[in-house]
């Protein structure tokens, strides 16, 4: 029996199939890494937005407290309950 010999066309097809498999493997790896990077960017963006919102709320709260303290200084000193009540009600109505 004669051993089988591979022709030039078959060798070329095998080489192209191997090259195609390598390219597809690299493409799959790149797509998987891109997906991981996108998820990481989403998480980092969400954390940054939450940090900015928390910081803005803290600044707003500190400004409100400072303003309330300034406006209540004299009424507390003179025990003016009407002005204290009006000021506190106005402060609690703010969003």
* DSSP label of 79: T
pLDDT at 95: 77
Q: Which residues of the chain have pLDDT under 50?
A: none
Structure tokens of 73?
């200084």
* DSSP label of 2: P
* pLDDT tens column, 59-82: 999 999 999 999 999 888 888 889
pLDDT at 80: 85
The Cα 66–Cα 81 span in angstroms is: 20
pLDDT at 1: 62
């Amino acid at each position: 029996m004669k051993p089988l010999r591979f022709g030039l066309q078959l060798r070329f097809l095998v080489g192209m199939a191997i090259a195609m498999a390598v390219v597809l493997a690299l493409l799959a790896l790149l797509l998987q890494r891109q997906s991981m990077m996108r998820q990481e960017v989403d998480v980092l963006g969400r954390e940054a937005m939450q940090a900015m919102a928390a910081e803005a709320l803290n600044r707003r709260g500190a400004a409100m407290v400072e303003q309330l303290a300034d406006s209540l200084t004299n009424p507390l000193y003179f025990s003016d309950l009407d002005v204290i009540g009006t000021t506190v009600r106005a402060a609690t109505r703010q969003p």
